[in-house]
Structure 1
């Protein structure tokens, strides 16, 4: 107990607005209000996936109609130049900053989140993510690339990490009977953020652009304001369970799955176990392969099918005119949107399925099915079958998203729920690692194949087999995950001491909390997040249908 907490208990002072004690649920609270609160945050920070919509406008922020290119400009000169446009490749470093900082911040502040609660973490996440957009807007206005990187990249990346893990342990505790489904509902929002954010950004860019301004800094400020409102609503809607709470009418199964513990592992010990590092490798390898596919999906479709996409099957990619390449690029954009949709759907589908078949079996499915599909894609390409090619990528991306959504429940099964949010935060360093491995492997192999004179339609074959090999390693790591030995579990009195704050509210049972189903308030909250998501899905489907 901290000095401040002790003084508060002695004086009887009411907890602060952001304090964990302030958000313990009371009788009559409906647990189905928690997932849309998490979605409010995840749908906003998920725009990190859609940031590429800004690259082309930013690459001509000085030249307006065309990029003002300065040859022989070093990256250090590019960071501070005000007279030359930025290169798309330099802007693309934002993705590295996003996902490396996401993993690092989640690992560093995961323990703080468990102590402080999801409301405070969500609040700080909103300040960082939206503050990063504001600072990035200043960097764009003053044309200082370093300030854009520092704002949206670094500060925004910290907001990503805190926002991403903010609801995890809360949802796992509210839905002990449906852990996978609960985390899947929230984490699918991160995949869906770009589906809403990218078309919204396009609309704002068109609104703000003028003959002398591309309109990006104004768009950053507008999105920062919109996202701040949504994220505040999400953060202040979080509620946590009282100690020992359980859903009305639900009791833990007497013969629990050997891989689902009823005990708790302390944060300080989780990373000392082999199980943590095996699950770390499972996530890293699954994500590395998935990121590799995401990065190559659009150029693969264009270079492999080329003229077939516009009814000219006799033309290879190099034989297409500039106008024809523009046409197939638009079709490839629809393909990318379709993959985003399957990425989102997979997060809910596979995580929910894991409640029935188990987390380990779900990852077995990811790896076995993934190996077969990655190895088959070159054959589908050689056959010239767009349907099989697109279907294979769609299933692969659903499993990529499903891997993210299933892993929190996997960790809760193995390590217990007391510190699952913080343990999940540390595990996300696997994502940061994969964000480097996947693109580097794919891009290096592609360039090497092109340099060796391989036809563009075949340059990806070897890459797909390498990615399939990654999944073989992931399959082995998943097989090595075993239940923990008793020595790693906390003693019952340690757990009770940690839960003491909530013990005065509930000592076991439902106590009228978590009931209600889809009442009017809950339905309204779900509509609040569901309508924008449905709009994003509709826009995506309109663009995706152009493939066929």
Structure 2
């Protein structure tokens, strides 16, 4: 039982004098790994040509883009559901056990998925990367959050931004790694996908062990030197603690659920269409022969968006420590409405440079929305079960992960069917997303302090977090 005891929460409590800045790298190790999910698109064409061997001319039995697209959707749905289901368990057992469970599921999802690829079983691939891997995503996503908030009550935005920044940047590691491995294994397996899944599953499992074994939690009575809890930024910041079960009974929880849903749905609208959007809007036909955006340039644009997704998570969440969470979200939505509404005009006027700048700002706020929400929750509900509350709120992300692509594809295809091309074909997409942000803005404006009747009575401890 000695090995089991190493995973107990009591074995991760930091001693006196522990340097809290050692905790963010542990959190980052988990998020950089599971952030690979954002790079899943590199597998789309290879997975669609396992039988034919030709990505441009699939065989009759090859999987279609729509079938392959469901793998990512299942993973994101399970991310939200598992975060909601296992949030209270995580608070009780502590981050080490939760991080190990995440590593086993995420790495194991690749291994099961590899068998699915080898046997050409789509169901097994859905189960492996989508279902099992998705559970790993959910537990891994929330596992460091409440720990960081407890270590950094004075800099909640900075702390959560550092970790969640890793999820946004995971694609910058996962994409080239997958491409290099598939090229290496191409001669030994169809498209090199199955062995690539095996190697990546092992690499990510081992990489996540750094986070598992270096994570520490503070003692219940610990506070940073000289820290005095205060509400200087906002009357929203509570001195009480609300349990996860009580949090979902409050209007504030559901207002923030709408806030996250609208911000993520709109952001996915850009991410989902980034490459075809810029190629179709600024084509040779529109710009003049030889002056249009090439496939390679479009890939560069997608990479740039990934970078701003990453940077926005740290920049905006850090800024929220100074501005307050409600003001920061008001910026996301107020500025976002203007920029989304501006995109079709920039496209029609062929303003390529401005178009790229606006898209980068939009995506920075999309990333910032993910990183700022845990601090917003902690302000409103206290730090007691903030990881579990965050987990339940992530069901909004699951919903957006399905809703966003559906809205974008439906509106875009409808416009194309009406004969519109280029920027005009995406016009209703961006106006609709701007409308969604209006809903998010109104929900954010309606957020008020949580009624004290929802607070836990008497002292609470982290050990009691899941009971």
TM-score, length-scaled by structure 2: 0.96
Structure 1 equivalent of residue 332 of structure 2: 366
Q: For 1:273-288, what aligned pairs fall within 5 Å after superposition? A: 273-288=250-265
Structure 1 equivalent of residue 76 of structure 2: 99
- Cα distance per residue 1:346-384 (max 9 Å; x no partner): 000000000000000000000000001011111211221
> For the structure 1 residues 336 and 256, does the alpha-carbon distance in structure 2 shift closer, same or farther, using more than 3 Å as the test?
closer
Query: How far apart are 1:239 and its partner, in Å?
Result: 0.4
Structure 1 equivalent of residue 46 of structure 2: 57
Provide the C-alpha distance between the structure 1 equivalents of 2:415 and 2:95, rounded to a whole number of angstroms.
Answer: 48
Provide the C-alpha distance between the structure 1 equivalents of 2:411 and 2:368, rounded to a whole number of angstroms.
Answer: 27
The secondary structure found in structure 1 opposite 2:100 is: helix
1:248 matches 2:222: no
Match of 1:457 among 412, 416, 423: 423
Query: How far apart are 1:104 and its partner, in Å?
Result: 0.4
Q: For 1:226-305, what aligned pairs fall within 5 Å after superposition? A: 226-253=203-230, 257-305=234-282
Query: How far apart are 1:181 and its partner, in Å?
Result: 0.6
Match of 2:201 among 207, 224, 246: 224
1:447 matches 2:413: yes
Query: How far apart are 1:60 and its partner, in Å?
Result: 1.5
Q: Which runs of 4+ in 1 moved over 6 A?
A: none
> For the structure 1 residues 399 and 500, does the alpha-carbon distance in structure 2 shift closer, same or farther, using more than 3 Å as the test?
closer
- Cα distance per residue 1:392-429 (max 9 Å; x no partner): 00000000000000000000000000000000000000
Query: How far apart are 1:144 and its partner, in Å?
Result: 1.1
Provide the C-alpha distance between the structure 1 equivalents of 2:188 and 2:307, rounded to a whole number of angstroms.
Answer: 35
What CA RMSD, in Å, does the superposition of the two structures yield over aligned residues? 2.0
1:127 matches 2:104: yes
1:26 matches 2:15: yes
Match of 2:33 among 31, 44, 47: 44
The secondary structure found in structure 2 opposite 1:65 is: coil
Structure 2 equivalent of residue 187 of structure 1: 164
1:409 matches 2:398: no
Structure 1 equivalent of residue 356 of structure 2: 390
> For the structure 1 residues 149 and 329, does the alpha-carbon distance in structure 2 shift closer, same or farther, using more than 3 Å as the test?
same
**What runs of 5+ residues in structure 2 fail to find an aligned partner?**
none
Query: How far apart are 1:205 and its partner, in Å?
Result: 1.0
Query: How far apart are 1:14 and its partner, in Å?
Result: 10
> For the structure 1 residues 255 and 220, does the alpha-carbon distance in structure 2 shift closer, same or farther, using more than 3 Å as the test?
closer
> For the structure 1 residues 210 and 261, does the alpha-carbon distance in structure 2 shift closer, same or farther, using more than 3 Å as the test?
same
Match of 1:314 among 288, 292, 310: 288
Provide the C-alpha distance between the structure 2 equivalents of 1:254 and 1:58, rounded to a whole number of angstroms.
Answer: 52
- Cα distance per residue 1:296-339 (max 9 Å; x no partner): 1211101110018xxx8235xxxx9xxx99x7122111111100
**Is the Cα–Cα contact under 8 Å of residues 233 and 322 in structure 2 kept in the other structure?**
no
**Is the Cα–Cα contact under 8 Å of residues 25 and 241 in structure 1 kept in the other structure?**
yes
Structure 1 equivalent of residue 185 of structure 2: 208
1:17 matches 2:6: yes
Structure 1 equivalent of residue 59 of structure 2: 69
The secondary structure found in structure 1 opposite 2:190 is: coil
Structure 2 equivalent of residue 541 of structure 1: none
Structure 1 equivalent of residue 141 of structure 2: 164
Match of 1:343 among 299, 309, 312: 309
Q: For 1:370-381, what aligned pairs fall within 5 Å after superposition? A: 370-381=336-347
> For the structure 1 residues 255 and 41, does the alpha-carbon distance in structure 2 shift closer, same or farther, using more than 3 Å as the test?
closer
Query: How far apart are 1:251 and its partner, in Å?
Result: 1.9
> For the structure 1 residues 415 and 65, does the alpha-carbon distance in structure 2 shift closer, same or farther, using more than 3 Å as the test?
same
> For the structure 1 residues 279 and 47, does the alpha-carbon distance in structure 2 shift closer, same or farther, using more than 3 Å as the test?
same
**Is the Cα–Cα contact under 8 Å of residues 243 and 500 in structure 1 kept in the other structure?**
no
1:473 matches 2:455: no
**Is the Cα–Cα contact under 8 Å of residues 64 and 212 in structure 1 kept in the other structure?**
no
Provide the C-alpha distance between the structure 2 equivalents of 1:286 and 1:500, rounded to a whole number of angstroms.
Answer: 33
**Is the Cα–Cα contact under 8 Å of residues 342 and 395 in structure 1 kept in the other structure?**
yes
Q: Which protein shows a greater Rg?
A: 1
Provide the C-alpha distance between the structure 2 equivalents of 1:259 and 1:68, rounded to a whole number of angstroms.
Answer: 56
Q: Comparing 377-386 with 279-288, which one deviates more in the overlay?
A: 377-386
Aligned residues: 464
**What runs of 5+ residues in structure 1 fail to find an aligned partner?**
1-7, 71-83, 502-548
Provide the C-alpha distance between the structure 1 equivalents of 2:464 and 2:51, rounded to a whole number of angstroms.
Answer: 59
Provide the C-alpha distance between the structure 2 equivalents of 1:380 and 1:299, rounded to a whole number of angstroms.
Answer: 16
Provide the C-alpha distance between the structure 2 equivalents of 1:500 and 1:450, rounded to a whole number of angstroms.
Answer: 56
